[in-house]
Amino acid sequence: MSRVSRHFKNLLKEISFFLFITMDKSTLGPIHYVWFAAVGSALAVVIVVLCIKEYAREWKHHQAIARRLQIKAVEEKIKTLESELPSVNEETRAKHEDRLRMMKMIRAQALAMPVKIQQIQVDSLKRVDRCTTCHTGIEDVNMNAHENPYKGHPGKYLQWHDIEKFGCTICHEGQGLSTDYMHAAHKPLRGLDRPWQKAVLSRYLIQSSCGKCHLDKEVPFAPLLSKGRDVIEKAGCSGCHKIRLYESQEKVGPSLDLLGSKVNRAWLLRWLSEPREYDPSAGLIRPRMPKFNLSKEQILALEAFLMASRNDAALKEPVEGGDPEAGALLFRESRCVTCHLVEGKGGYLGPELAGITSKVSKKWLYSYIKDTHFFQPRTKMPQFNFTEKQMSDIVEYLCEELQGEELEIPEDFENVPDSDKNSGEMVNNGKKIFMDYGCTGCHAKTGIDQGRIAPDIIGLGSRDEEGLEWGNVHGIDKYTGNWVFARLKDPILLDKKAKMPVFPFTEDEMAAATVALLSDTMEDIPSQYIVSATNRNNYPDLPGEFGKLVDKYRCRSCHVVYGDGGWVSMHPLDGEGSEVRKEWLRGYFTLPYTLRPILAERMVNLKMSDSEIDLLVNFFGSVMVLNSIPVEEYTFKEEEIAKGKSLFDKYGCISCHIMGKGGGYVGPPLTTVGDRLTTGWIYEYIKNPRYYETWSLQPDYGFSAEDARALTAYLASCKEVKKDIRISQGK
């Protein structure tokens, strides 16, 4: 033993001597051999560890498990198929054997699958994703029951978005190039030495990714995003900020011209100091006016400035003899509550009408109904065609039934002398505050046009949180989304000098708006990925007589007409002429009724004149038509009607639609649908419901042309007066 060790020592000595070539043998003491041996061994260990680590990557482990799971599933299927084989009969035997062979092929494929890094390269989106290296079964619906990363993708999202064309990180974000859990940024892990700008999005935030390509207001399967876009539109964020998709939105507030003739002073002071006092049911848009951080002096100056604009000569006294009961009838008949709230119930387009007299005078009400667009040129309210007597009735009804208490000037302002308000200095001050706080973002005022006063929030999703002003906020994750949320909740918290007011959003609405704002990442998305049904800037103002009527009756307040409008109804009117019959349309304009009893909003009775109705009906019939739907009515045989009826019963249409006496309330009633819809539309709609209405709930049964025709025949025969139907004899 000792001889061997001596020999080994000598060998070391010699090697050391060769290495330290210029050294004398005598200078190398025994300590040097120990050092040499220790360093050499450590190096060897390091190299071995390195090789092991290089070989045993995390993803190999996952791929092995995934393969085992896959093979196990296939083998179970093979087993059951083999055990069933003796008992199957002759007819299906060949099919059974085919399936067995197929399964065996899949097993062979799985066994032969090489262990390697998987990668999806999407050139047009400039992304390379290696997520499928671990998430191998992501496209396999059979793997849905397993845990991540072996799980299949939930839902049908991968059917709609081919994984080869989209990759993973365009929606999920994270670090697609990485192949281990930590570095793929599955968790944000902020505060580490290498922070990621884009970590994998949580299941709520991921909806913001939908908004990269889906530019419509309603995005299917993304309720948060859709709600957020709705909030942004209705709150009028684009009045002060430049926001993608809302660049050309109109101001959401009423014009403040002639305000002095409209409201009384006490109301205005209260409204400016606390808008939510007016309607305590705080929530979105009720009221839409946010609370500004104004001092008493500022409010007084603002009030002086606003009240200075008046034209009392324009107000007219209502005609004598208004009958409140007739007014009440008219109020209901005209469906005012489609847009206006009455004691918290009704639509959201117009202001609350309960207690209206504490805000405006009777004279104003009358004059406004009489000459709506003179006082508010851009209002969403149509110009109703009431007679003077009818107007007087309605005003009488409003003043009697919806009377509010007389408002007093708030306590703090009581001692301020009234005469101050007309001093020129005050008015000038008020004007300065009006412009400073960006009141022009929502309210038009003649002579003041200053554009957007707040910073652009284009590309908020790609902003870096380091560049944002965080103020004195502690204890929250410094992430751009949180910043937006905090900013909406209380702007002063982040920036003491912020002029942004506090909006009356609920926390849900704030979160939804944040998701929608984060969807603008400034990414260069190629046009083939963009989903946008409407081109919003198609026809900002419609020309001709039709355009005049659309403007007078403000059709676009509720409906989409040539790509613009639609705050109430989703259904665009652009193809209405192909959908409904002229006779029905004429009747509907004269006396609108509800098509869907389930909805609170109903078509407003505008009291249009006959000539106007004629013009509209003709325009709809000749211009607003879809080329894909034939103008000619189909003709049907008796057998087809009978077959259609049996199909109607077979598919249980009655569970959603009313037919005759009973039925569901999800879809519109079909009892007299033959009077309303054209045969061409019924046929096309049954064949392909979501082609015309992407949001439609109507199931796509995949009817054959023959079945669809039969159903159309049956539905077209459902008329109030059946004599109309044309039945071709013979042939």
Partner 1 sequence: MIKRLKRFAEWLVRTQIWSSIFRQGWPDTERNRILTTINTLVFHLHPIKVKSHGIKVKYTFCLGGISFFLFIVETITGVLLMFYYRPTVEYAYQDMKDLEFAVTFGLFLRNMHRWAAHGMVLTVIIHMCRVFYTGSYKPPREYNWCVGVSLLVLTLLLSFTGYLLPWDQLAYWAVTVGTNMAKATPVLGAEGPFHVLSEMTDICFYLRGSVDISENTLLRFYVLHCIALPLAAVGLMGIHFWRVRKDGGISGPL
Residues that bind partner 1 (CB under 8 A): 7, 10-11, 14, 21-23, 27, 50, 54, 117, 126, 128, 130, 175, 177-180, 183, 193-197, 464, 466
In the bound complex, what is the minimum distance in angstroms from residue 178's beta carbon to partner 1?
Answer: 6
In the bound complex, what is the minimum distance in angstroms from residue 358's beta carbon to partner 1?
Answer: 56
- In the bound state with partner 1, the residue whose beta carbon lies nearer, of 187 and 726, is 187
If one counts every other C-beta atom within 10 angstroms of the C-beta of residue 153, the result is 19
In the bound complex, what is the minimum distance in angstroms from residue 634's beta carbon to partner 1?
Answer: 57
Q: How far is CA 638 from each of CA 267, 652, 675, 680, 730, rounded to the nearest angstrom?
A: 67, 22, 18, 18, 10
**N-to-C CA span, the chain:** 114
- In the bound state with partner 1, the residue whose beta carbon lies nearer, of 196 and 703, is 196
The answer to whether the CB of 506 falls within 8 A of the CB of 220 is no
- In the bound state with partner 1, the residue whose beta carbon lies nearer, of 173 and 303, is 173
Handedness of CA 684, 550, 263, 388 (dihedral sign): negative
Distance CA 626, CA 681 (A): 10
- The phi and psi torsions of 366 (rounded to 5 degrees) equal -65, -50
- In the bound state with partner 1, the residue whose beta carbon lies nearer, of 176 and 287, is 176
Residue for token digits 């992501």? 138
In the bound complex, what is the minimum distance in angstroms from residue 267's beta carbon to partner 1?
Answer: 51
Provide the token pair at 142.
């059979």
Distance CA 1, CA 3 (A): 5
Residue (of 629, 630, 648, 651) closest to 640 by Cα position: 648
- In the bound state with partner 1, the residue whose beta carbon lies nearer, of 11 and 623, is 11
Residue (of 684, 731, 690) closest to 711 by Cα position: 684
Distance CA 701, CA 54 (A): 54
Buried b (16+ CB within 10 A) or exposed e, 194-225: eebebbbbeeebbbbbbbbbbbbbbbeebebb
In the bound complex, what is the minimum distance in angstroms from residue 9's beta carbon to partner 1?
Answer: 12
- Which is it for strands 345-346 and 560-561: parallel, antiparallel or unpaired? unpaired
In the bound complex, what is the minimum distance in angstroms from residue 437's beta carbon to partner 1?
Answer: 33
- In the bound state with partner 1, the residue whose beta carbon lies nearer, of 130 and 362, is 130
- The phi and psi torsions of 609 (rounded to 5 degrees) equal -75, 160
Helix (H/G/I), strand (E/B), else coil: 668? coil
- In the bound state with partner 1, the residue whose beta carbon lies nearer, of 175 and 298, is 175
Supply the DSSP symbol for 407: P
In the bound complex, what is the minimum distance in angstroms from residue 162's beta carbon to partner 1?
Answer: 23
- In the bound state with partner 1, the residue whose beta carbon lies nearer, of 193 and 320, is 193
In the bound complex, what is the minimum distance in angstroms from residue 195's beta carbon to partner 1?
Answer: 5
In the bound complex, what is the minimum distance in angstroms from residue 27's beta carbon to partner 1?
Answer: 7
- In the bound state with partner 1, the residue whose beta carbon lies nearer, of 174 and 211, is 174
In the bound complex, what is the minimum distance in angstroms from residue 580's beta carbon to partner 1?
Answer: 54
In the bound complex, what is the minimum distance in angstroms from residue 136's beta carbon to partner 1?
Answer: 16
- SS3 assignment for 254-293: CCCCCHHHHECHHHHHHHHHCHHHHCCCCECCECCCCECC
In the bound complex, what is the minimum distance in angstroms from residue 94's beta carbon to partner 1?
Answer: 46
- In the bound state with partner 1, the residue whose beta carbon lies nearer, of 117 and 141, is 117
In the bound complex, what is the minimum distance in angstroms from residue 175's beta carbon to partner 1?
Answer: 7
Helix 705-716 to helix 679-687 angle (10° resolution) is: 140
Q: How far is CA 505 from each of CA 274, 286, 508, 509, rounded to the nearest angstrom?
A: 15, 10, 8, 6
The answer to whether the CB of 569 falls within 8 A of the CB of 348 is no
In the bound complex, what is the minimum distance in angstroms from residue 177's beta carbon to partner 1?
Answer: 3
The answer to whether the CB of 556 falls within 8 A of the CB of 550 is yes
- The phi and psi torsions of 379 (rounded to 5 degrees) equal -65, 160
Half-sphere exposure of 510 (CA within 13 A, CB side): 17
- In the bound state with partner 1, the residue whose beta carbon lies nearer, of 493 and 525, is 525
In the bound complex, what is the minimum distance in angstroms from residue 54's beta carbon to partner 1?
Answer: 6
Provide the residue type at 470 as one letter.
W
- SS3 assignment for 92-154: HHHHHHHHHHHHHHHHHHHHHCCCCCCCEEECCCCEEECHHHCCCCCCCHHHCCCCCCCCCCC
In the bound complex, what is the minimum distance in angstroms from residue 170's beta carbon to partner 1?
Answer: 15
CA angle in degrees (0–180, nearest 5) for 467-181-50: 110
- In the bound state with partner 1, the residue whose beta carbon lies nearer, of 194 and 661, is 194
- In the bound state with partner 1, the residue whose beta carbon lies nearer, of 28 and 266, is 28
- In the bound state with partner 1, the residue whose beta carbon lies nearer, of 47 and 530, is 47
- SS3 assignment for 168-227: CHHHHCCCCCCCCCCCCCCCCCCCCCCCCCCCCCCCCCCHHHHHHHECCCCCCCCHHHHH
- In the bound state with partner 1, the residue whose beta carbon lies nearer, of 117 and 448, is 117
- In the bound state with partner 1, the residue whose beta carbon lies nearer, of 195 and 587, is 195
